[in-house]
Amino acid sequence: MALEGLNAVLAQLKRTRWQDQQSFEKFVSLWPDLVGPEVAAQTRPTKITTQDVLQVATASGVWAQNLAFERIRILKKVNAVWPKPLKDIHFSAQQWHRSAPKRSPKYIETDLTPQPRAKSTPEIRPKPETSQEAFLRWSNAVQRQASRNRLRCPICECWTPLEELKRWNRCALCTARLDVAIDERSLPQKINQP
């Protein structure tokens, strides 16, 4: 057995590592076909260990847990197309941000068209000149805010949440008034005796 120089050993290691990297990139390109586009958008293979275990980063712990239940099925699909059979798959949300791809894979569609921005500051109106005008602005603002997701009570005309109207067909105050009126009628009448 002949001893090789350090440069020869390093060259061999570089060649092997380069081939492994190229092989892994091919595997990453196959990943969407193996798991589907929905799962591929939430996962990213990070590496294949020396023990032939595929490590996959997931967008959340929920994805990691759900895919752990599907690991045997996914492993069978991977081993059906991959030349070197894998022994297991480990899913982890911990590596998701650390292993962000340098460029977006082809299966993740990105829309880079600029979107119109919403106004970040509210419209600034001049200060009201009189207290009457200030009060009118304030009361209009309160009414606008009150009318969102609300309707008027058919009995007292107050703004009422939709849930109350669906439940009682009137506001909570009118319902309480009606309950009090019913309770008062059900009480025994005092009989005045001379």
Give CA–CA dist 43/19, Å, rounded: 24
User: Which tens digit of pLDDT belongs to each residue from 171-184?
Assistant: 988 988 887 777 66
* Confidence check: pLDDT of 1 > 60: no
Q: Which residue has the higher pLDDT, 18 or 133?
A: 133
| pLDDT at res. 29 | 85
Average pLDDT over residues 99-105: 54
- Token code pair at residue 139: 């009361």
Hey, what's the torsion of the CAs at 139, 143, 146, 147, to 10 degrees? 180
| pLDDT at res. 12 | 64
| pLDDT at res. 98 | 67
Give CA–CA dist 168/27, Å, rounded: 61
DSSP string for 70-102: THHHHHHHHHHH-SS---EEEEESTTTTTT--S
Q: Which residue has the higher pLDDT, 14 or 151?
A: 151
**What residues does CATH 3.30.300 cover in the chain?**
15-92
Q: Which residue has the higher pLDDT, 3 or 149?
A: 149
| Cβ–Cβ under 8 Å, residues 72 and 64 | no
User: Which tens digit of pLDDT belongs to each residue from 2-16?
Assistant: 666 777 766 666 555
Fold of the 15-92 domain = GMP Synthetase; Chain A, domain 3 (3.30.300)
State which of 19-28, 65-74, 143-152 shows the largest mean pLDDT.
65-74
Give this prediction's pTM.
0.44
Helix (H) or strand (E) holding 19: helix 6-35
Cα-based distances in Å from 19 to 93, 103, 157, 175: 27, 20, 77, 77
